[in-house]
Structure 1
Amino acid sequence: MNYNLALSDEILLSIEKPERYIGNEVNSVIKDKSQVDIRFAMCFPDVYEIGMSHLGIQILYGMFNSFDDVWCERVYSPWTDMDKLLREKDIPLFALESQDPVRDFDFLGFTIQYEMCYTNILQVLDLSKIPLLSKDRTWDDPIVVGGGPCTYNPEPITDFFDFFYIGEGETRYREIFELYKKAKKEGYSRQEFLREVSHIPGMYVPSLYDVKYKEDGTILSMDPIYEDVPKTVYKEMCRDLSNEFYPTKPVVPYIKITQDRVVLEVMRGCIRGCRFCQAGQLYKPLREKDVEHLKKLAIESLKNTGYEEISLSSLSSSDYSKLPELLDFLIDECNDKKVNISLPSLRIDAFSLDVMSKVQDVKKSSLTFAPEAGTQRMRNVINKGLTEEDILRGSHEAFLGGWNKVKLYFMLGLPTETDEDILGIGDIANKVAVEYFETVPKEKRNGRTIDIVASTSFFVPKPFTPFQWAPMNTKEEFLEKANKTRKGIMSQLNQKHIKYNWHEADASMMEGILARGDRKLNEVILKAYQRGCIYDAWGEYFKFDVWMDIFKECGVDPFFYTTRERTEDEIFPWDILNCGVTKTFLLREWKNALEGKPSTNCRQSCLGCGATSYKVGVCMEDRNNA
């Protein structure tokens, strides 16, 4: 089916990367719009190259388009050059497949992966000529729905969304579509439709809840305004991943994107209870896919895309119980086809290094360790489950195997952190360098030497983690700690082999405000967008001073959301949602953290987090065999 491009050749030739806007990529789906009942625009509110790399959108795009009555298309945030052009020429934002205006669709769905994309959501709504506020929309506008990890605290952006889908998208969309068709047929008002949506498990309709505050700014209560609206919204979760839809014909872009490869999701969830990690809690319990099913998916996906690389996706690939069998199969398949295998999120041990030697080219890329903290005391606080001995043993094996580049990731500003923990970062980096010189004799170095890159990010406490109670460092404290880390590295014997990078403190502070924010931030975000803030996730466009001025104007204290320590009984903005892990468990883990006590992982023993209520995955494994 042919269609006209929304943009003239003249416009396309005047912008950077016109391929971002023309659609028609390999495996993109074109339908006859007169033959479908529902049109769904799926948006990733960031630039095309990042949005196209997101697995969640590929899954929902494929699943929705497998329904005869639905046509799902894609839309991304236009880059700044295109944003300017669309405004100047008054061209409404359009979806890639049909090139039709987004405003003509029934649904506009956003996947919200990162707090710093919030103003980009408003950019997409604005360029689509859809009212920014949910209360101003009519049936002439699409229903605006949000999903993804940031919706586990959607309070800072509630004014802009009609509803949020809490949890994994495969389970309830069919019900939503049927309800929508019924609402249209029977003449429901938009408000009646949204009230009915709130009866579907996992759906949070913020306009149906009333939030009251105490004098100190904390929340007094969050209650539904009607009796038939649920008091708590429970996350949706796939119970049998092997039988859920998975795309074997993902859309293949014309230009290079961040993740230019076939992505094979091997499992969801994680058994490791790192206390800073939100994903580890949100996706509990760990659920594995059947290995035979994965083999089929891998072969089909490679055949349908022509990619020359396949990557295993999960929070901790080493914990997939059938990993050796899957890898043996992939190595056989991929060697014949000259396809590379990429293995992110492996724990560095002898098994992993053996695997990496088999799958990587002779040119060894760098090895990545994430100790997260500079001392064992601090790693116990965050429950990292990794010792210095593990790191040095892994490094030793790697150096024997021919690697000579190591990346080390750490966090600064973790709860209970001391100067000793900060200086420990340089100490570990130096010990890895010493391990190299002791392991690889001079005559075997072939003129090469060891390269170590130590990177620190600043710790941001997240909802639904044991650290949701923790105070966050100020921007000044973060920079002071980065400076101490740098000095610590420079004082090491092998400092010339160690490079140090650190993250932007301004952006971390802003992320911290938005991560634990409440409904008072809606006004701040709206004003920031109106004052020109978009692409806040991109350092060169982030206007920290503008944000701070707006907080002042709105009478909102940004530090209320960051540096303040929470009391044990405080009602959090996200307490209306339930991710399957109880607040009692998270509080117990917070206390363990403050005492420096590590906890076991889910395969060693059950910690009683609450996720057994789903009766799937690792919770049901026979622990005697573990």
Structure 2
Amino acid sequence: MAIPLLYDILNRNPSILAERVFAPWLDMENLIREHNLPFVSLESGHPLKEFDILGFSLGYELTYTNILNMLSLAGIPILGAERGGDFPLVIAGGSCSLNPEPLADFIDAFVIGDAEEAIEDLCKGFIDAKKRTLSKPQLLRELAKIPGIYVPSLYQAEYNPDETLKSITPTVPEAPSVVNRRILPALPPPTVKPVVPYIEVVQDRGAVEISRGCSRGCRFCSAGILYRPVRVRPAEEVITAVEGIMDNCGYDEISLLSLSCSDYPGIEGLVKTLAEKYADKHLALSLPSLRLTPDSVSLVNVLAGARKSGLTFAPEAASPRLQRVINKLTSEEELCATARTAFESGWTSFKMYFMIGLPTETDEDAAAICQMVGKGNALSRIAPGRRPQIRLSLASYVPKAHTPFQWEAQLDEESLYRRADIVRQGLKRWGIKLSWSDTRMSLLEAVFSRGDRRLGRVIYTAWQKGAKFDAWSECFNFSLWQEAFDECGLNPSFYAHRKRSLDETLPWNHINTGVSAEFLKREYTRSLEEQDTPDCREGKCHACGLEKAVTECADRLHRK
């Protein structure tokens, strides 16, 4: 949602022209380089290096080399220190910007948190600086004054003899010692006139954000921390937005987006209203994030009508013990009830996502995945007609910054393979299809998600060796990264496989999400004690830190 939303906001401002650019695939890149063509924007074909600002959306750590590659294609110096005022200001935002340090050498300024207002403030600051003919160093110092804007070049990192981080401190008075995440009190108006592609694209549909944030408190989940507090769009506004998108764009398929659509107040009524209101237009609705409950199946039945292909749920862990550790409870009874409802309703595919390598996980926890899936598989016999297909996807757990597990070590590759084999062997008897993510990709994700700015050298070296599109299996070449780490004298295990002490200075400590370190430590301790923490919207506030800034949270904290 970020790109169409910001595109709309910026282009409504008469002083700003915003255009899009995407990383070209390998064949197009070869043509650009072979014929020395300019790398241009999508709308007007204007060379990128002639824009004032170039912004990147950071959604996944394994796309970092693409940033360097795009700068190179555009003829823009890759290192921020080598870019003067004649080149675009390079900025970035998105979920990965909550630990911006690995990209500190390349990005001039990061937008931390909700960008809708922050990006306008940044553009105003840039326009003002341009009128005053400020130099780039002066511009960066002015931008650092804006709440939620982090300018990494204005900070100095120092390290201890054991290679851990000692401190990150500002070098100029304009740079704050702690950068606070921008938090919108309410969702901005939805975009009802998004750009419509004139060719077939992936996910070619309209989208309405029905809520932002999640209060479930899953301890492995960075999004649950980074998008707090929960902000809900009124149902009337959702309905109006759906109508606007259909009228303006011609879409007959709309996604209702949320971290947890099941938690949207009155979601059943909203879906039924939309289905009935636009029945004559054959509107297809999708809810991409639902909890594993029979009610979710009933809800999707309303959406699907006669088209019932695949359902996807993410229990993440199977054993009750490990579920309490990660604070995501899904009982076998809930799974069986959900599967029964799905199969009786005629769904032909049932996919489940689990993680291996979660903190405190044992071989018994891995085996419990097979037991849970097996019970669901046994129920598939009740389905009318052809027996449904059950699929299972395994992901290697990656500890993330700003979560209760940020101090934990990632499980080593050998142990991950052994745990995955326990699951694979256990599923053989039922012939269930199993897919598993590449552990080497998960290793790099773990390195960069909790890394420091020394990793910039590794990213740069790997890119020079040819690394790009690392998130695509057909392009991923782990040997390039191994060579880069070796040449830079850094060990990936130091970042991925090392458990941190609770008092260690972390590379992202100067980025304040609003959720306090004290709360994260409490949740980490509760996880080790195998204690779950209830959803704060269903009871008392747990004092995560946002009660200091959000009135609703403060009221709930003091509620008797």
| Smaller-chain TM-score bracket | over 0.9
CA RMSD of aligned residues (A): 1.6
Amino acid at match of 1:535: F
Q: Within 2, Cα distance between the matches of 1:341 and 1:298?
A: 10
Q: Within 2, Cα distance between the matches of 1:111 and 1:383?
A: 29
Equivalent residue number for residue 294 of structure 1: 238
**Equivalent position to 1:133, from 69, 79, 82:** 79
CA displacement, residues 317-366 of structure 1 (integer Å, 9 cap, x when unaligned)? 01111313321221112311011111111123343222222220313122
CA displacement, residues 358-404 of structure 1 (integer Å, 9 cap, x when unaligned)? 22031312222211112111111110022221111111222222224
1:460-479 matched pairs, under 5 angstroms: 460-479=398-417
CA displacement, residues 146-193 of structure 1 (integer Å, 9 cap, x when unaligned)? 100000001011010111010111112222222222211212111011
**Equivalent position to 1:610, from 538, 545, 553:** 545
| Deviation of the 1:565 alpha carbon | 0.6
Equivalent residue number for residue 548 of structure 1: 482
Q: Within 2, Cα distance between the matches of 1:330 and 1:87?
A: 49
TM superposition score normalised by structure 2: 0.97
Q: Within 2, Cα distance between the matches of 1:245 and 1:354?
A: 30
Q: Within 2, Cα distance between the matches of 1:623 and 1:398?
A: 41
Amino acid at match of 1:333: K
Equivalent residue number for residue 130 of structure 2: 184
Equivalent residue number for residue 257 of structure 1: 201
1:4-403 matched pairs, under 5 angstroms: 55-241=1-187, 244-403=188-347
CA displacement, residues 446-481 of structure 1 (integer Å, 9 cap, x when unaligned)? 3x1131101101000000111101110122222222
| Deviation of the 1:600 alpha carbon | 0.6
Unaligned runs of 5+ in 1: 1-54
Contact 1:288 1:617 in 2 (8 A): no
Among the aligned pairs, what percent are the same residue?
Answer: 41
Greater Cα shift, 316-325 or 191-200: 316-325
Q: Within 1, Cα distance between the matches of 2:18 and 2:172?
A: 33
| Deviation of the 1:616 alpha carbon | 5.2
Q: Within 2, Cα distance between the matches of 1:616 and 1:346?
A: 28
Equivalent residue number for residue 349 of structure 2: 405
Q: Within 2, Cα distance between the matches of 1:310 and 1:573?
A: 39
| Deviation of the 1:215 alpha carbon | 0.6
Change (3 A) 1:611 1:106: same
CA displacement, residues 69-94 of structure 1 (integer Å, 9 cap, x when unaligned)? 11100000010001111111111210
Contact 1:366 1:403 in 2 (8 A): yes
Change (3 A) 1:161 1:167: same
Q: Runs ≥4 in structure 1, deviation > 6 angstroms?
A: 621-625
Q: Within 2, Cα distance between the matches of 1:162 and 1:555?
A: 26
Greater Cα shift, 231-240 or 359-368: 359-368
Amino acid at match of 2:520: L
Contact 1:203 1:233 in 2 (8 A): yes
1:570-589 matched pairs, under 5 angstroms: 570-589=504-523
Greater Cα shift, 323-332 or 418-427: 323-332
CA displacement, residues 20-49 of structure 1 (integer Å, 9 cap, x when unaligned)? xxxxxxxxxxxxxxxxxxxxxxxxxxxxxx
Q: Within 1, Cα distance between the matches of 2:559 and 2:33?
A: 63
| Deviation of the 1:622 alpha carbon | 9.9
Contact 2:541 2:557 in 1 (8 A): no
| Deviation of the 1:621 alpha carbon | 6.5
Q: Within 1, Cα distance between the matches of 2:555 and 2:284?
A: 35
Contact 2:54 2:88 in 1 (8 A): yes
| Deviation of the 1:593 alpha carbon | 1.1
Q: Within 2, Cα distance between the matches of 1:186 and 1:69?
A: 16
Contact 2:541 2:556 in 1 (8 A): no
Contact 2:294 2:334 in 1 (8 A): no
Q: Within 2, Cα distance between the matches of 1:622 and 1:324?
A: 29
Q: Within 1, Cα distance between the matches of 2:240 and 2:311?
A: 29
Greater Cα shift, 179-188 or 82-91: 179-188
Alignment partner of 1:416 is 2:416: no
Secondary structure in structure 2 of the residue aligned to 1:457: strand
Amino acid at match of 2:549: Y
Equivalent residue number for residue 481 of structure 1: 419
Contact 1:425 1:489 in 2 (8 A): no
Alignment partner of 1:531 is 2:465: yes
Equivalent residue number for residue 40 of structure 1: none
| Deviation of the 1:618 alpha carbon | 6.2
TM superposition score normalised by structure 1: 0.87
CA displacement, residues 244-290 of structure 1 (integer Å, 9 cap, x when unaligned)? 24210111112332221111100100011011100000001111011
Amino acid at match of 1:63: I
Q: Within 1, Cα distance between the matches of 2:229 and 2:554?
A: 7
Contact 2:292 2:314 in 1 (8 A): no
Unaligned runs of 5+ in 2: none
Equivalenced residues, count: 559
Contact 2:290 2:313 in 1 (8 A): no
Greater Cα shift, 605-614 or 201-210: 605-614
Amino acid at match of 1:467: F
Q: Within 2, Cα distance between the matches of 1:463 and 1:185?
A: 39
Q: Within 2, Cα distance between the matches of 1:264 and 1:118?
A: 28
Contact 1:115 1:515 in 2 (8 A): yes
Change (3 A) 1:423 1:623: farther
Change (3 A) 1:321 1:472: same
Contact 1:167 1:202 in 2 (8 A): yes
Q: Within 2, Cα distance between the matches of 1:214 and 1:89?
A: 48
Secondary structure in structure 2 of the residue aligned to 1:325: helix
Change (3 A) 1:183 1:218: same
Q: Within 2, Cα distance between the matches of 1:71 and 1:276?
A: 39
Q: Within 1, Cα distance between the matches of 2:271 and 2:554?
A: 25
Q: Within 2, Cα distance between the matches of 1:351 and 1:454?
A: 21
Amino acid at match of 1:79: W
